[in-house]
Amino acid sequence: MRLLTFILIAMLAACSPNEENNAVENEAADSFYEPVPAMHYPVDNPWSKEKEELGKMLYFDPRLSGDNSVSCATCHHPDKGWSDGLPRAIGFGGQELGRHSPTIINTGYFEVQMWDGRAPSLDKQALGPIQAAVEMNQNLDELVKELGAVPEYVKRFQKVFGGMTPENIGKAIATFERSVVSNNAPYDKYMTGDKSALSASAVNGMSLFFGKAKCVICHNGPVFTDSGFHNIGVQQHGPLQEDLGRFNISKEDFDKGGFKTPGLRSVSASAPYMHDGSAASLTEVVRFYNRGGDVKENLSPFITPLELTDFEVQDVVEFLKALDGAPIVISSPQLP
């Protein structure tokens, strides 16, 4: 249904690519609008306030790393849009990693985790970076021993789970991550009737996003991701010569250079952008799309030059900024 609507819009936009189409394209925006739903918690890891609080402590606790120097928040910090402000993460021992730290915002809604989708759920994902030699370099049995020597943690794990295990550490952290939600942006206010919530530029950007610029093909649904993988033609930057992305997992040729479509709510806070942090600003990102990507090998057929004027590029950026949600208020926890 969504695809059908899109094809219709694309045809209309192709016929006469000018502002007369704004009305039609705003209808497209209407037909695609989905507010952010309530968070869904897995059956085997239901929400409780105590669990979320425990997860928050663990998320901010450097005890989770091998030398007690790094916490999840080091690379996914609230003050940096829940990322780290760096093109590529700095890992254990100070080495630069190959990929950019994605934001934690709205990950609770994602069907798959990581740029290549290798982690199916947040509950399982959390144990990955703890053990990864290049990230937190911690042995899970050691960690349970270390946290087991902290009476406050023992008490809290006992209360929430009936005991401390690596699996329960992951579950608690995932529960906290599910509380990091961006919703209720100016865009939502506009779509639900407050026409003063968006500037004229953002409204035009919205028409472009859902029409001529065809961003909606991949960035759709309530948090603006199709949970799919696409090669959009990013020129690889950083220590990796080449990053085949999704192909490393699927071994399907068409996945070469394919990365997960990121969500776009509150995206303005988590610069730089892309799996390798190669785009410094949202303006750079939209200019990149406007020229039809940089690397043509195995490029998605949906990435083509857009012929947006400089004003239109800026309008799309204004629309992206209108996806900034209500502030996510999280105070750093008192660590035991």
Residue number, 108 or 193, with CB nearest to ligand HEC: 108
135 is catalytic: yes
Considering only 21, 175, 182, 270, the residue that binds ligand HEC (CB under 6 A) is 270
* Burial category of 275 from C-beta neighbours within 10 Å (exposed 0-12, middle 13-18, buried 19 and up): buried
CA 128 – CA 123 distance, rounded (Å): 10
**Stretch 32-71: interaction string toward ligand HEC, x if CB under 6 A:** --------------------------------x-----x-
Q: Distance between CA 36 and CA 224 in Å, rounded?
A: 10
Single-letter amino acid, residue 273: Y
- Provide the mask over 131-170, with x wherever binding to ligand HEC is found by CB under 6 A and - wherever it is not: ----xx----------------------------------
- Interface with ligand HEC, residue 321, by CB under 6 A: no
CB 280 to ligand HEC: min, Å:
11
Cβ at position 308, least distance to ligand HEC in Å: 8
Instruction: Name the phi and psi angles at 5, rounded to 5.
Output: -55, -45
222-261 CB burial, b ≥16 within 10 A, e <16: bbbbbbbbbbbbbebbbeeeebbbbbebbeeeebbbbbbb
Q: Is there binding between residue 126 and ligand HEC (CB under 6 A)?
A: yes
Instruction: Tell which residue, 16, 11, 42, has the closest CA to residue 28.
Output: 11
Residue 311 interacting with ligand HEC (CB under 6 A): no
Q: What 3-state DSSP class applies to 178?
A: coil
Tell me whether residue 122 or residue 196 sits nearer to ligand HEC (CB atom): 122
Which of 54, 104, 198, 202 touches ligand HEC by CB under 6 A? 104
What's the burial of 184, exposed, middle or buried (CB within 10 Å: 0-12/13-18/19+)? middle
Q: Which of 52, 96, 111, 135 is catalytic?
A: 135
261 contacts ligand HEC (rule: CB under 6 A): yes
Choose, by CB under 6 A, the member of 91, 186, 211, 293 that binds ligand HEC.
Answer: 91
H/E element, 229: strand 229-230
Contact (Cβ atoms closer than 8 angstroms) between residue 119 and residue 112:
yes
Q: Which residues pair with 259 in a beta bridge?
A: 230
Q: Which is nearer to ligand HEC, 190 or 319 (CB)?
A: 319
Residue partners of 154: CB distance under 8 A and separation at least 6 = 147, 148, 164
113 near ligand HEC, judged by CB under 6 A: yes
> Where do contacts with ligand HEC occur on this chain (CB under 6 A)?
64, 70, 72, 74-76, 89, 91, 97, 99, 101-102, 104, 107, 110, 113-116, 122, 125-126, 129-130, 135-136, 173, 213-215, 217-219, 230, 232, 234, 259, 261-262, 264, 267, 270, 273-275, 282, 285-286, 289, 300, 302-303, 316
Residues tagged active-site: 135
